[in-house]
Copies of this chain bind each other. A is one copy, B any other.
């Protein structure tokens, strides 16, 4: 019998329910705590969070809108699968978004954007030094999200965020394969990109972002190519 999530026997405020379950469910999906393909039972979640099915439902609809859960009519929703067959479409998209958002950041960033980006870069380097792969993945997402924000194009920012989140699941599979020796080179590449943004050098940003993305893509592809899990997951 699942307890109603320790702290919250009562709801704190009126609109907080959906937000809580949305964010937590989201995190659990992206952290692979809820494995792709696993079914999602509404009543189960309702008792777990100690609330009615209505707010659960709304959270699921939102997650479905972002492609994180799939819903079939009259059947249980499930955590959406990672499409290994068409993984290249993901790589194409995130490579382009890396390039575009970095270019725009070079054009439109403001001083406070650079402060945020540099602070994240410090955290990123610390995570690499500490060999903390999980933190590294999470901060990498936040770093590129901050760069996208600095570009100030909401359409590109939205797509980039979606790709970064989807990428969190993929990188999770990737980085958990080598628990030691996190690549120091990403830190240097980030450093170069940030410098190019600060210098407002658009072309250099484009080249660096493309090289950065290509490098990640190459490594992840190599990993999936030699890993059996890929074929199993098909």
**B-binding residues in A (CB < 8 A):** 14-15, 54, 57-58, 61-62, 65-66, 73-74, 86, 89-90, 92-93, 96, 100, 104, 152-156, 158-159, 162-163
Contacts and interface: CB of A to CB of B under 8 A. Distances in A.
Please give the count of copies of this chain that the complex contains: 2
Contacts of A57: 58
Contacts of A15: 73-74
A121 to B, nearest CB: 26
A21 to B, nearest CB: 13
A198 to B, nearest CB: 22
Given A15-B74, A65-B66, A74-B14, A93 B58 contact: no
B58 A153 contact: no
A83 to B, nearest CB: 8
Contacts of A154: 86, 89
Contacts of A104: 92
Nearest to A61: B61
Nearest to A152: B89
Given A14-B74, A15-B73, A153 B62 contact: no
A104 B86 CA distance: 14
Contacts of A155: 89-90, 93, 159, 162-163
Interface majority SS (helix, strand, loop, mixed), chain A: helix
A-B pairs with lowest CB-CB distance, top 4: A65-B65, A93-B155, A89-B153, A15-B73
A185 to B, nearest CB: 27
B92 A96 contact: no
7 contacts: A14-B73, A58-B58, A61-B62, A62-B65, A65-B65, A90-B155, A92-B153
A90 B155 CA distance: 7
A156 B156 CA distance: 11
A15 B61 CA distance: 14
Nearest to A14: B74
Contacts of A93: 153, 155-156
A192 B61 CA distance: 41
A162 B15 CA distance: 28
Contacts of A153: 89, 92-93
